[in-house]
Amino acid sequence: MEKIRIALAQINSKRQNKKENLHKIEEFTKKARNQAADLIVFPELSLTGYVMRDQVYEQAETIPGPSSRTIESISRKNGIAIVFGMPELSKKAKATIFNTAVFVGTRGLIGKYRKMYLPTHSVFEEKRYFRPGNQTVTLNTALGNIGLCICYDLFFPEVCRLTRLKGAQLIVVISASPAVRKNYFEVLTTARALENTAFLAYVNMVGVEDGLQFWGGSRLIGPTGDLLAIAKYDQEDLVVCDLNYNDIRTAEPSIPTLRDLRPELFDELKRESEQF
């Protein structure tokens, strides 16, 4: 598939109210279907809201699990693939949880990505609750090769780079970024798309949770760093936009970052970061 239509579903999740959030996910998915979208993306932890603290143990579910199955059904009914975020309970433990992005296709679960970089500074306390994932993910789907990242991963270029090296044409980044970090993400989203000559769809949460104000501003960025679509700041929004993977063909010759990769530097990077 060369062209796809993607919907950026910038929602305000109701904290710890999966029922209401699933309903909202369904409503937004219907609206996206009515605009002929192929894929709809919801924010990080959109199933539960971001600030859960100790309540995360009550909210987490396995994948597959009741909520992911509901979303599979929403996807099937509407004929749209869905990416959303949720706290994922390990199948082998009772309270070991991952911060996970889930990709559901119209025929069921396609894959998931467990956030690798868990912010634990300033107002963030993710390492207290989540176990980090240990691998980057690029999914080969009917809608193209799609890499998954979550929020703070964007600060580490190797995550997006690895999804690209695994073939990602589109990098989907789900996020719960508070307003004081807006400037960082506006720069990083463009940088990650440009340096990888890939499309990047960034979907951020909106709303206020325990004083954290999620700023929205979800966007689709093209492989030359162009801003192709942007959602409102601070308000719920649904933005539907088209992308044509052929644009990568025209971007790579003029921004040949993949041609110019120097693998030997990665050995050095590994060595230096281990000794840092």
160 is catalytic: no
Nearer to other proteins by Cβ, of 54 and 264: the residue is 54
DSSP 74: H
Smallest separation (angstroms) from other proteins to the CB of 11 = 12
Residues forming beta bridges with residue 97, ordered by sequence position: 89, 130
Min separation Cβ 251 and other proteins, Å: 33
Positions in 28-67 near other proteins (CB under 8 A): 49, 51-55
Please state the three-class secondary structure of 90-134 as a single string: CCCCCCCEEEEEEEEECCEEEEEEECCCCCCCCCCCHHHHECCCC
Active-site pick, 18, 24, 26, 44: 44
Q: How far is the CB of 236 from other proteins (least distance, A)?
A: 12
Q: In terms of CB distance, is 51 or 176 closer to other proteins?
A: 51
If one counts every other C-beta atom within 10 angstroms of the C-beta of residue 249, the result is: 12
Question: Residue 22: in which H helix or E strand, if any?
Answer: helix 18-34
| Cα 172 from chain centre | 5
> At 131, phi and psi to the nearest 5?
-90, 135
Does the footprint of other proteins cover residue 219 (CB under 8 A)? no
Q: Is 149 among the catalytic positions?
A: no
Q: Rule CB under 8 A: which of 122-181 touch other proteins?
A: 125, 128, 179
Which of 172, 205, 206 is closest to 189 using CA atoms? 172
Nearer to other proteins, 37 or 45 (CB): 45
Sites for other proteins among residues 73-112 (CB under 8 A): none
Active-site annotation holder among 18, 26, 115, 149: 115
Tokens coding 274: 């281990």
Phi (first) and psi of residue 156, to 5 degrees: -120, 100
Rg (CA), the chain: 18
From 15-23, 74-82, 83-91, 265-273, give the range in contact with other proteins by CB under 8 A. Answer: 15-23
CB-CB contact of 217 with 190 (8 Å): no
Cis peptide before 132 (omega within 30 of 0): no
Nearer to other proteins, 125 or 158 (CB): 125
* CB of 58 vs other proteins, minimal distance in Å: 11
Which one among 8, 11, 15, 151 touches other proteins, defined by CB under 8 A? Answer: 15
The size of the interface with other proteins (CB under 8 A), counted in residues, is 21
Among 27, 158, 186, 234, binds other proteins (CB under 8 A): 234
- Site for other proteins contains 236 (CB under 8 A): no
Give the SS3 label for residue 251. Answer: helix
Active site residue 182: no
* Contacts of 267 by beta carbon, 8 Å cutoff, 6+ apart: none
Residues that bind other proteins (CB under 8 A): 12, 14-17, 49, 51-55, 125, 128, 179, 207-211, 213, 234
Catalytic residues: 44, 115, 151
